Structure 1
Amino acid sequence: MEVTDVNNVKIYNLSCGKTFPDWLPDRKKRQLLKKEPSLKRRIELIQDFEMPQLCNTINLSSNGEYIFACGVYKPTMRCYDLNNLSMKFERCFDSEIIKCKPLSDDYTKLVFMFCDRYVEFHSQSGRYYRLRIPKFGRDLDYHPPNCDLFFVGDTSDIIRLNLEKGQFLNPYQGSSTSFNCCKVNPFHHLLVCGSTDGQVEAWDPRIRERVGSLDCALSALTVDPQGIPAIRSIAFKDGVNLAVGTETGLVLLYDLRANKPYYTKDHMYGLPIKSVVFHQEWVISMDSKVVKIWDRETGKPFTSVQSQYDLNDLCLVPETGMFFLACENQKIQSFFIPSMGPAPKWCSFLDSIVEELEEDQDDAIYDDYKFVTTKDLEEIGLNHLIGTNLLRSYMHGFFIDHRLYNKAKATSNPFAYERYKKKKIAEAMEAASGDRVKLQPKLPKVNQELAKKLYDLELSGDGSRKAKQTVALLKDERFKSLFENEDFQIEQDD
């Protein structure tokens, strides 16, 4: 787990850290767990949550219990059971998957759109039916009341396939040359399609007619006059609030009752907005480089998430602070932001882990610093740094960087290493001669403690001038009375 702080918001990356290779045997994995502490501390939220090479799309079922991830190579779809935090099944295909859409609340009914114009319907037992649509598709969505499946792509027609009758119906005739995305509003079931001409067209499936359109290109040109921007993504918050992502990196927020956006957000990267999601009072927009989370009313940035790999798709777990990112990497990125909401019920243990990390964080703030007092600073000649940014006041002293402290200490006392070296040599020689019989010197009756201290200093071999003068007291006749006459006895408690 990696913790980052962007705009004073804690972001927990749950997919970072070391992993075991697939070919590694279980015995070797257990041995590595004992040796590597970083492997013990890692969090594997969902087991085998990855693709063979990279992930293109990621979806969440309506009941919030299954995740569907599609990627290459080979073209693969993997279904993950969130209650068991593991992969439920895997299915491989002949061509690359462009879009995946669950038709039921769980994993029992799925539809896949491929890059070669084929569409496959799957049940829980496997592939149920396969057909081909008239044009190459780019997006699809399902309208449950009429059982209509809509396809948009490299054509001005919006293709309709009725799943109850099992046949194609007359398509909707759009005014644009082609469409990139489509979305059915879950509140009033209005079909909204984004075109390559910068137009958003709305269709009512009840009367099978176009009921309105928005000219997003005109609003986007006032901000970035680089050509007509195509519409790449669409999202609904409720029945009236609509978010539109453009090819030039703009996010336009609309009220369907007005023909102009009430707010325009620029990602400043000039990259297509691949996904837009509403979450409470925030908008989550994603391009291939960054995920930005910002306030829906004011546009004030809340936080952002960057990845070292190009991003392809975004999947948010509703009413929580967790989301998944499909990217150009084997691992599917998992992020948790406690400020956005609690952890999902299937991984509620994350809340307690985050609380423990918050409590233990203060202990690791000064790992690279050393605590010193004012006296210590005077000894190494750094007392003139008091009041600067190089010293951080704390209680009765200061915190100083280890590197600066060691450098100053070596400069102020250049012979410290030589004394340390002699001390270590003496300790090693004493340890080597530890089994020998030691002759205890005969101590005088007067001032025994002083005499013992002088004997120990003589045995230590300290060659300093002060030490030689001190040891000379034992042999100098002028100080003989110090160890014989009781009048010279040193009173320790006086």
Structure 2
Amino acid sequence: MEVFEYDNVKIYNLSCGKSLPEWLSERKRRALLKKDVDLRRRIELIQDFEMPDISTSVKVTPDGQYIIATGIYKPRVKCFDVNNLSQKFDRCFDSEAITFELLSDDYSKLVFLQCDRYVEFHVAHGRHYRLRIPKYGRDMKYFLPTGDLFIVGVTSDIYRLNLVRGQFLTPFVSEASVINKCAINKEYSLVMCGTKEGKVECWDPRCRNLIGTLDVALNCLSKMENVTSENFPSITALNMDGPLHMGVGTANGMVLLYDIRSSEPYMVKDHMERLPIKDIEFNKKENIVFSMNKSILKMWDKNSGKPYANIETSSELNNLCVVPDTGLLFIANEKPKILTYYLPSLGPAPKWASFLDSLTEELEESNVESIYDDYKFVTRSEVNALGLDLDDLVKNNLLRAYMHGYFMDARFYNKVKSAAQPFAFKEYRQNRIKKTIERSRRAKILPNLPNLPRVNKKLALELMKTKSNVLNDDRFRNLFLNQEFEIDENSEEYRLINNVAKGK
């Protein structure tokens, strides 16, 4: 387990550390555990929680008892039982699964949308049936009130597969050429579709009509300078936050939060990396929004947009799963291990992993490393002043977007600055003058006395003027030797006490 801190928010990485091969005997396992410290410190929350090569998507069943994950290679689905913290079954596909839906509260009814236009249905014992759709699909959602499975993709048609009758119904015809995402508003029984043209269409399955269109691209284009076909704000992520609020992610890295009663967003968040947003999730208890692209997961306040925490990894991120009412996250990525993170500040651990709460409480007092200790924060204007191309730096991962600027490696920053400004004479001259003035002030305030201590020199001088014996008293020795007892005259506590002492 690895713990790091981001702006006073502790994040526990439960998926780091080495894993032991399955074929090892118990004797060899014990021998390796004795030799390797990293193996002893690892936490295997769920046994074999990984894929052979890449994980593409992960979800928790509505009853909270199972975790379903898909990946490659070979294309497969794995089910994990959280009560036993181990794998329940592993099944292979003929082709890769793009996404999947849970049709029941547990693992007994699943439907997978595959990359070769097949839709495959699974039940408890295995594959039940598969059929093919006319065009390639990109997303699908199950609409419980009517039993319809809505499938969208590289077409203007929104396919409706009725699972009660077992047949396709007349599709909805959209105004868009391609539909990337869809979501269900459960409270109002509406189907929301995000299009390539940067619009969100709202369909009512009861009257089978388009009842509203939201132009998201219009709000994004007003904040963009150079618009091309590559950075056009198509809809790439879509999710509902309760009955009235909706989160929309675009292909150029922007996240917009809407009240569905208004056509204007009440919050716009820019990832500043120009990468498509892959997933948007919400933590209703803390009003936190999760927005993820392939390089970073950002968590920020829903109302103010203030950053809460970030998670970055060495591999590309594919899919985000937030365990409901907890602080546990699963992330499918381009590596075998499915990433697992725990944030105690966002909620408690789930019941099946309750030991995490006691474990994190023990580590609460320990020191953690800051994730940006070796980075220099720079603004857009500072990057331009150094003569660097901002787009190239972002594309090559030399800049990490953060708040209103970027983080740059400190060593790279020093090299670039020394090349751009070989001798900044004006800055050098000002620093020399400042140091000279400080030395002269210190000489006036603190005369060169032989018995002057290292700490709290000013206090020692005042005591020497009053001829007090405090300096020679062993009980107060640490006051003039230990740096922790240094009096900070700029602190609020000192000003309040000093004003009272002076009778102000």
Same fold (TM over 0.5): yes
Question: What secondary structure does 2:345 align onto?
Answer: coil
Give the C-alpha shift of residue 246 in structure 1: 0.3
Query: Which residue matches 2:5?
Result: 5
Distance 1:364 1:276, change over 3 A: closer
Residue in 2 that maps onto 1:239: 243
Q: CA deviation at 1:212?
A: 0.2
State the SS of the aligned residue for 1:339.
helix
Distance 1:104 1:398, change over 3 A: same
Distance (whole Å) between structure 2 residues aligned to residue 350 and residue 21 of structure 1: 25
Q: Structure 1 counterpart of 2:33, which letter?
A: L
Q: 1:277 aligned to 2:281?
A: yes
Distance change >3 Å, CA 352–CA 264, structure 1 → 2: same
Specify the code of the residue in structure 1 equivalent to 2:72.
Answer: V
Match of 1:261 in 2: 265
Specify whether residues 148 and 362 from structure 1 end up closer, same or farther in structure 2 by C-alpha distance, changes over 3 A only: closer
Equivalent residue for 2:255, pick from 233, 251, 257? 251
Would the alpha carbon gap of residues 161 and 398 (structure 1) be closer, same or farther in structure 2, given more than 3 Å must change? same
**1:89 equivalent in alignment to 2:79:** no
* Structural RMSD (CA): 2.2
> Percent identical across equivalent pairs?
51
For 1:259 and 1:216, the matched residues in 2 are separated by: 8
Corresponding residue of 1:345: 351
**How big is the shift at 1:385?**
8.1
1:210-249 equivalences under 5 Å are 210-225=210-225, 226-227=227-228, 228-249=232-253
1:95-174 superposed matches below 5 A? 95-174=95-174
Task: Report the equivalent of 1:182.
Answer: 182
Task: Give the Cα–Cα distance (whole angstroms) in 1 for the partners of residues 113 and 237 of structure 2.
Answer: 17
Question: Contact between 2:77 and 2:91, CA under 8 Å: does it hold in 1?
Answer: yes
Q: TM-score, normalization: structure 1?
A: 0.74
- The Cα offsets for residues 252-281 of structure 1, whole Å up to 9 and x where unpaired, read as 000100011111000011100000001121
Question: What does 1:356-371 align with in structure 2 at a 5 Å threshold?
Answer: 356-359=362-365, 361=366
Instruction: Check conservation: 2:253, 2:273, Cα contact below 8 A.
Output: yes
The 3-state SS of whatever aligns with 1:135 is coil
Task: Measure, in 1, the Cα distance between the counterparts of 2:134 and 2:479.
Answer: 76
Instruction: Write the distance in 2 (CA, Å) between the matches of 1:234 and 1:394.
Output: 60
Rounded to whole Å, the distance in 2 between the matches of 1:16 and 1:139 is 31
Provide closer, same or farther for how the CA distance between residues 387 and 220 of structure 1 changes in structure 2, counting only shifts above 3 A.
farther
- Please state how far the C-alpha of 1:362 moved relative to its aligned partner: 6.0
C-alpha distance in 1 between matches for 2:269 and 2:368: 40
Structure 1 partner of 2:327: 321
Cα deviation, residue 25, structure 1: 2.7
Contact 2:454 2:481 in 1 (8 A): no
Q: Distance in 2 between matches of 1:180 and 1:76?
A: 23
Closer/same/farther in 2, CA of residues 64 and 397 from structure 1, 3 Å limit: farther
Question: Once the 2 structures are TM-superposed, how far is the Cα of residue 19 of structure 1 from its aligned partner?
Answer: 1.3
Structure 1 gaps, min length 5: 366-382, 401-494
Partner of 2:76: 76
Please give the alpha-carbon distance, in whole angstroms, between the structure 2 residues aligned to 1:56 and 1:63.
Answer: 22
Aligned to 1:39: 39
Provide the residue aligned with 2:294 in structure 1.
288
* TM-aligned CA deviation for residue 59 of structure 1: 1.1
How many corresponding residue pairs? 378
**Deviation of residue 167 (structure 1)?**
0.4
Cα distance between partner residues in 1 of 2:60 and 2:187? 19
